[in-house]
């Protein structure tokens, strides 16, 4: 049974020409426009719209413009720019809301939409439900989309918008120690939203930058999810240029992966752990992370005498909890660093700033700093599913009856030896994700084999 794409707190994503086209984009943008008109300043008509570099982005942009015009709202196009930049700009430039045209880390055949409230935060569950309800009730007449052949939209030089984001990060990190180090940095922004702004930012910090895949062409040079197996070339770039560190981003530049000075691509889980270690060394605070994030962060937080709170998957869920508990930092183990002082959203540029600050402060190479972090073996897998999720969970609960069980999001099993397994459907793909961690390779392999056998059992 194929899972149909749906609007979630992570937005709407679909394969272009199959689950997403101009008409679907128009309907969702129209429903969002009507929703924000029910909230906030009735005299404010400005909606900021940005996108990643996917080639279908301009087609969607025209549909979004038509939807906003239909609702008497004014689109301010901020260009090809990171998702976190748009969130920050909505807040800083007093937008009524924002729309980001991106499919984030999904493969190149996808595109999508993310919706932003006037707070500069993504829509949460109740707002998502309101958008869906409005869309469901659109009449056939209201759903009609005709491309405006006279549309004057064109690509822009968005330096003024990029500079706002960069300036905000520089206010909240200690730039002088980084400037003094003159770090050599390799960068792979995958020919997308991070391509100009990240190099600008690194140069502001006095870094010598070696960029691969630095155009905003939307031609992804490798699979876009920033994980170890997709990032071979950036490791070679680090070695070739004797860089101190390397960074890789996903297409909308909200996720970040670190490459050490030996050219080794680190697990994306280390990104958040390094950022948390730095932030808590300056200001102790509780933190929030999602249910699939490594226990490394838990151990780091406990070493500072603070608490960790776990949430459902989805950036909006983590942010909501961070604001509730007044956490300075939090995020997701997929390379998503959230530093509230800059803006409460996943932000690869902020992650870069925090990690370079840590590097300058510790005066040790990346490999040594990582060596001192808590050690776990994490395994991640994904499988298509064609059966009832309730049945899957029931079978797993019977298999893992010796574990403590958390059903906040899918089902997570925890054992007293600090191993754990989390099984849940993806918010963005028709798959089940399996993520787990243990102190030894043998233990995590045993747990994963049991999950696979349970899922395969008829």
Closest CA to 32 of 70, 86, 81: 70
SS (H, E, C) 181-197: HCCEEEEECCCCCCCCH
User: Rounded to 5 degrees, what angle do the CA atoms 211, 217, 220 make?
Assistant: 70
Say whether 104 is catalytic: yes
Given 10, 85, 104, 267, the catalytic residue: 104
Cα 360 to Cα 363: distance, rounded to the nearest angstrom: 5
In order, the DSSP letters of 71-135 are: TT-EEEEEEE--HHHHHHHHHHTT-SEEEEE--TTS-TTEEEEEEEETTS-B--HHHHHHHHHHH
Structure tokens at 108: 């190149």
Closest CA to 142 of 33, 58, 49: 33
Structure tokens at 267: 């697990």
What is the chain's percent helix, strand, coil content, to nearest 5?
40, 20, 40
130, 117 Cβ separation under 8 angstroms: no
Closest CA to 313 of 287, 345, 291: 291
360, 178 Cβ separation under 8 angstroms: yes
3-state secondary structure of 369: helix
Beta bridge partners of 47: 75, 97
Cα 37 to Cα 47: distance, rounded to the nearest angstrom: 11
First and final C-alpha spacing in the chain: 15
Cα 300 to Cα 307: distance, rounded to the nearest angstrom: 10
Strand order in the sheet with 110-117: 12-15, 110-117, 97-101, 46-51, 74-80
Beta bridge partners of 434: 381, 423
Show Cβ contacts of residue 193 under 8 Å, excluding neighbours closer than 6 positions: 50, 51, 52, 53, 80, 81, 82, 83, 85, 102, 216, 249, 251, 252, 253
Cα 109 to Cα 17: distance, rounded to the nearest angstrom: 9
Q: Report residue 422 CA to chain centroid gap.
A: 19
- Enumerate the active-site residues: 104
């Amino acid at each position: 049974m194929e899972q149909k794409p749906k609007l979630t707190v992570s937005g709407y994503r679909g394969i272009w020409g199959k689950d997403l086209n101009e008409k679907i984009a128009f309907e969702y943008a129209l429903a969002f426009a009507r929703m924000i008109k029910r909230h906030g300043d009735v005299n404010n008509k400005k909606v900021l719209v940005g996108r990643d570099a996917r080639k279908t982005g301009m087609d969607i942009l025209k549909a979004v413009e038509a939807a906003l015009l239909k609702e008497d709202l004014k689109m301010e196009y901020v260009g090809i720019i990171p998702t976190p930049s748009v969130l920050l700009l909505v807040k800083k430039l007093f937008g009524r809301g924002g729309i980001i045209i991106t499919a984030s880390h999904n493969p190149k055949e996808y595109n999508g939409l993310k919706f932003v409230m006037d707070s500069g935060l993504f829509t949460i569950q109740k707002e998502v439900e309101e958008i869906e309800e409005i869309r469901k009730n659109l009449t056939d007449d209201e759903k009609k989309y005709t491309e405006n052949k006279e549309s004057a939209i064109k690509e822009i030089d968005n330096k003024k918008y990029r500079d706002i984001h960069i300036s905000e990060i520089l206010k909240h990190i200690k730039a002088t120690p980084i400037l003094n180090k003159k770090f050599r940095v390799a960068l792979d922004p995958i020919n997308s939203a991070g391509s100009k702004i990240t190099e600008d930012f690194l140069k502001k910090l006095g870094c010598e930058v070696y960029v691969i895949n630095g155009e905003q062409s939307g031609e992804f040079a490798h699979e876009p999810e920033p994980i170890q197996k997709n990032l071979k070339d950036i490791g070679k770039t680090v070695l070739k240029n004797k860089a101190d560190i390397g960074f890789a981003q996903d297409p909308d530049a909200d996720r970040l992966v670190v490459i050490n000075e030996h050219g080794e691509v680190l697990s994306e889980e280390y990104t958040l752990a390094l950022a948390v270690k730095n932030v808590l060394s300056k200001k102790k605070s509780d933190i929030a992370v999602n249910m699939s994030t490594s226990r490394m962060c838990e151990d780091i937080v406990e070493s500072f005498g603070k608490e960790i709170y776990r949430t459902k998957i989805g950036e909006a869920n983590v942010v909501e909890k961070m604001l509730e508990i007044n956490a300075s930092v939090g995020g997701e183990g997929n390379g998503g660093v959230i530093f509230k002082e800059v803006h409460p959203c996943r932000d690869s540029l902020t992650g870069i700033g925090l990690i370079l600050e840590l590097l300058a402060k510790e005066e040790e190479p990346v490999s040594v700093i990582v060596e001192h972090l808590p050690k776990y073996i994490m395994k991640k897998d994904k499988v298509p599913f064609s059966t009832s999720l309730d049945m899957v969970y029931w079978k797993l609960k019977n298999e893992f009856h010796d574990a403590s069980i958390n059903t906040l999001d899918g089902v997570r099993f925890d054992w007293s030896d600090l191993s754990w397994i989390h099984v849940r459907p993806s918010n963005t793909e028709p798959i089940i994700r399996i993520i787990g961690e243990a102190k030894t390779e043998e233990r995590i392999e045993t747990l994963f084999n049991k999950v696979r056998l349970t899922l395969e059992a008829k």
